[in-house]
Structure 1
Amino acid sequence: MMKRLSGLIAAPHTAFRADGSLALDMIPLQARLLAHNGVSGAFICGTTGEGSSLTGEERRQVVEAWVAARPAGLAVIVHVGHLSIGDACAYAAHAQAAGADAVAALAPSFFRPPGLGELVSWCARIAAAAPKLPFYYYHMPAMTGVSFPAADFLQAANAVIPNLAGVKFTHENLMDFGRSMEVADSKFTMLFGRDEILLSGLVLGAPGAVGSTYNFAAPLYLRIIEAFKRGDIAAARRDQLKAMDFIEVLGRHGGLSAGKTAMKLIGIDCGPVRLPLRVVSAAEEKSLREGFERIGFFDYCSKLP
């Protein structure tokens, strides 16, 4: 039986040097930070990890470095999606051979599957390349343009993909999330993927969540989870609003680029982003820091061990 993922799963940034090369030496520090702050997993080479901007060799190097650096109890989930199904299968096979704990894949976003059957077949091929690992479908319509309901995908894929474990659900359709939780007698693990509305996912039964801001604000989100578990919804809402506040600041200063700057501000410099993303300027970094200070971000952000 496949082990179910749960708790906070961070989507780490891929660290680069000033010249754009990989800074693999940052991965042990990133991994220690996550474990120290109560994060249960690392979802690597995905959106936040700029996986689509990495070469194939770089993706393999990042996977191997994370597997080697992970502390006990920190699961490594590898995003293996690619526009080429052959490359996606090769990444999945490599992740299994390297010792990862699970794989996940976005839907293809240039030649998109015309129907649900084609999406299931696409995922089945990739999952079969790593048959010993749980496979998660990465549902992110805003980026892929593939918007078949996750609940329908799970119903269609249940009998087709033996190692299908669930969905990384990065979408705002809470009805679809709730319906997905009930497919096949709640067989599948639904990992909630919108940090700014984590509390909504918890209300609908999410056992875990994957997000970029868990890299640098895990203590705040763990407070939300604990408050929800003890029935203190007012406290959970207050802390969720704090998360909304700093996510709004991040959005005004570049989104993913600003997230890397946030890592720098807590002591882990993950370097620049790659083109076509825009690097945060010195002035923008100063404004981001000031915005964080105004809302008290540094009172609850992750701390270095």
Structure 2
Amino acid sequence: MKRLFGVTTAMVTPYDRNGDIDIVAMQKLTEFLIQKNVNCLYPCGTTGEMMLLSPEERETLAEIVVKTANKRVSVFIHAGAMTTKETVRLAQHAEKIGADGIGVVTPSFFSMTEKGILNFYKTVSSAVSKTFPVYVYVIPQCAVNDISPRLMQEIANNCPNIIGVKYSGFDMVKVKDYLRINDETFSVVLGLDRLFVPALTMGCDGVVSGCSCAIPEPFVKIYKLWQENNMKEAMEENKKAAEICEKLGNGSDMSIFKHVLLQRGLPVGPVRPPLLELSAEEWEQRYRYLKEYI
């Protein structure tokens, strides 16, 4: 089964002037990222404003990216939703349209027991083919629910097509323990893209990076240097990437990403309410630090 690796870019969702999905802009963004040599594409996740999209919109976005990518890079669709029924729908749709796999965030908002979380992933993973790759997406600071390494091992034991985890928390000891699952064959990708080289050094397969949607170049360069065993230059490039992540708000404000993409000739519209746009003054301050990378 295919795995996420290297630079997996979490994509923003483009909107037109009416606030609807901008199909052409999504096609252009997909092409832009492929030409920048990212390794995998990941639409409809946190960076893509997932909880502000309807199931129909998410299916449309998934279809656009899969069709435009046309197997040139891997495409994993984020299918996690507020209900199990909608998550299953989006997971099955992703497999039907030819995606390479899916990510599924933990149940959100409501605190769940370990049994409840296990049952959720058993339901979702069994709704798709046994050979269709599924990643658990752990982001406790947003979703409320966390997954211990012990529970993750139990999920992997019960769901053979759950092959990895995208971890966007801040506990690097937990990352170390995730890497031991299934005799160290479990795939771990880190959402903290500013720690790209440290993640690779620990044994992670790569990062899932929202910042790389706006400025992919340093992240692509880090992975190339890593593959060439050029650790010194990779670490230097990681410092640059970490600075970029900081100036981009470390992925906490998709409006910044969209402003940068506009500067790069890729108008993708505003963020969707209740998210707020950057003010002109806020953007001017950000641009002062980011312009040399755009």
TM-score by length of 2: 0.93
- Residue pair 2:7, 2:223 contacting (<8 A) in 1 also: no
Aligned to 1:262: 260
Partner of residue 182 from structure 2, selected from 177, 181, 184: 184
Other-structure match for 1:207: 205
Aligned to 1:143: 142
1:159-198 alignment runs, 5 A limit? 159-198=157-196
Equivalents in 2 of 1:215, 1:242: separation in Å? 16
Structure 2: any 5+ residue segments left out of the alignment?
Answer: none
- Deviation larger for 37-46 or 250-259: 250-259
Q: Which residue of 2 aligns with 1:82?
A: 81
2:272 match: 274
Aligned to 1:26: 25
**Could you tell me the TM-score, scaled by structure 1's length?**
0.90
- Number of the residue aligned with 2:290: 292
Q: Which amino acid aligns with 1:139?
A: V
How has the CA–CA distance of structure 1 residues 252 and 212 changed in structure 2, closer, same or farther, with 3 Å as cutoff?
closer
User: What amino acid is the match of 1:263?
Assistant: L
Aligned-pair distance for 1:119? 0.9
What one-letter code is carried by the residue in structure 2 that aligns with 1:187? Answer: T
Q: Distance in 2 between matches of 1:192 and 1:71?
A: 26
Structure 1 Cα separation of the partners of residues 66 and 176 of structure 2: 33
State the distance in 2 between where 1:20 and 1:45 align.
Answer: 16
Following superposition, which runs of at least 4 residues in structure 1 exceed 3 angstroms of deviation? 226-234
1:1-60, CA deviations, whole angstroms, 9 ceiling, x for partnerless residues?
x12222211011010012211101112211111111111111111100011100111111
SS for the counterpart of 1:158 is: helix
1:48 equivalenced with 2:47 (yes/no): yes
Partner Cα distance (1:245, 1:44) in 2: 24
The separation in 2 between residues aligned to 1:71 and 1:283, in whole angstroms, is 40
1:232 CA drift (Å) = 4.0
Identity %: 25
Q: Deviations over 1:227-264 (max 9, x none)?
A: 34444443223222212222222229972211111111
- Structure 1: distance between partners of 2:45 and 2:81: 11
Query: Which piece of structure 1 moves more, 70-79 or 133-142?
Result: 70-79
Q: In 2 relative to 1, CA 3–246 (structure 1 residues): closer, same or farther, beyond 3 Å?
A: closer
Say how many residue pairs are matched.
293
Residues 111-165 of structure 1 show CA distances to partners (whole Å, capped at 9, x for unaligned) of 2312x2221211111111222410110011111111232x223311122112111
